[in-house]
Every structure is written in C-alpha cells, then in structure tokens.
C-alpha cells in the first residue's frame, strides 16, 4: 500500500484511526511498536494552528514520535488557514523537524463542534468549498 510516494506496507495496512482524546503521541508510539503500519494524530484545528503559534494544547495534539508512519489530521473550513498550516507543516515534514509523513484533511467527522464550524463531514455537501479547501492545501 502506498500513499503518494510513501510505501506503507505490502498488502493490507493495519491503521490506527484518529480518536480525539485517545490517540496522543505516546499511545500512537505504543501502537506503532506493536505493529501498526499507519497512524494518525488526533483531529487538530488548522485554524487554531495557523493563528495561535503558541497554542500548546493544539500543538501537543499533532506531536509525532519517531515510530511508525504518521499523518497529521486537520480540519477547517477556511482555505487560507489550511494553506498556511499545510505550507508550514510540509516544510517541517521535508526537513525532518516534524516526524509526520503526510497531512490528512478530515472530511468525515460528524462531531457537532467540527460541523458547526463548517468543517468535517459537512464539507461533503458543499463541493465548491471543498474544492477551494483542498486546492489551497495542495497549492501549499
């Protein structure tokens, strides 16, 4: 299995889904050491990350250990925010400053606090917004 140019494994991948409040860096590291092929950070707000550089709580959510292949999962409804944080994180991923291997945009979360902000699964009913959001991330 490959994600872009990242070889995850041969055949089927054992992946740890992102779970808010559970899949912190230490938990992901334990799961990776026990054989998981693919890991995801907890869902993090791209808006919070792009606007509050010193927000320790949000930054802690995306901490990545050196074990396993980890993706940072982001949500937002703002193309400017996803572009800004995708550019920053991509640079950190390329230099090795960040242990993650890829960025994942959440389009499936139905949690009220996420969809209330026009993000997560609610984006699936707005193709133009979705196109703008993904376009901004890819461009970055």
Q: So which residues are the catalytic ones?
A: 109
Q: How buried is residue 112: exposed, middle or buried, by Cβ count under 10 Å (0-12/13-18/19+)?
A: exposed
CA distances from 102 to 7, 13, 82, 117, 118 (A): 12, 16, 14, 24, 23
Distance CA 48, CA 61 (A): 11
CB–CB of 114/78 below 8 Å? no
Contact assessment for residue 84 and residue 54, using Cβ atoms and an 8 Å cutoff = no
Beta bridge partner(s), residue 44: 74
């Amino acid at each position: 299995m490959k994600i872009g140019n990242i070889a995850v494994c041969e055949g089927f991948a054992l992946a740890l889904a992102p779970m808010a409040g559970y899949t912190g860096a230490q938990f992901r590291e334990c799961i990776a050491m026990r054989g998981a092929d693919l890991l995801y950070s907890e869902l993090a707000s791209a808006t919070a990350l792009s606007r509050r550089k010193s927000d320790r709580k949000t930054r802690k959510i995306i901490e990545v250990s050196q074990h396993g292949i980890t993706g940072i999962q982001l949500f937002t409804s703002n193309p400017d925010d996803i572009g800004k944080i995708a550019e920053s994180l991509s640079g950190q991923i390329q230099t090795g400053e960040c242990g993650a291997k890829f960025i994942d945009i959440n389009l499936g979360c139905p949690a009220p606090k996420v969809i209330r902000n026009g993000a997560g699964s609610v984006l699936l009913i707005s193709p133009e917004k979705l196109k703008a959001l993904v376009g901004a991330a890819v461009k970055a």
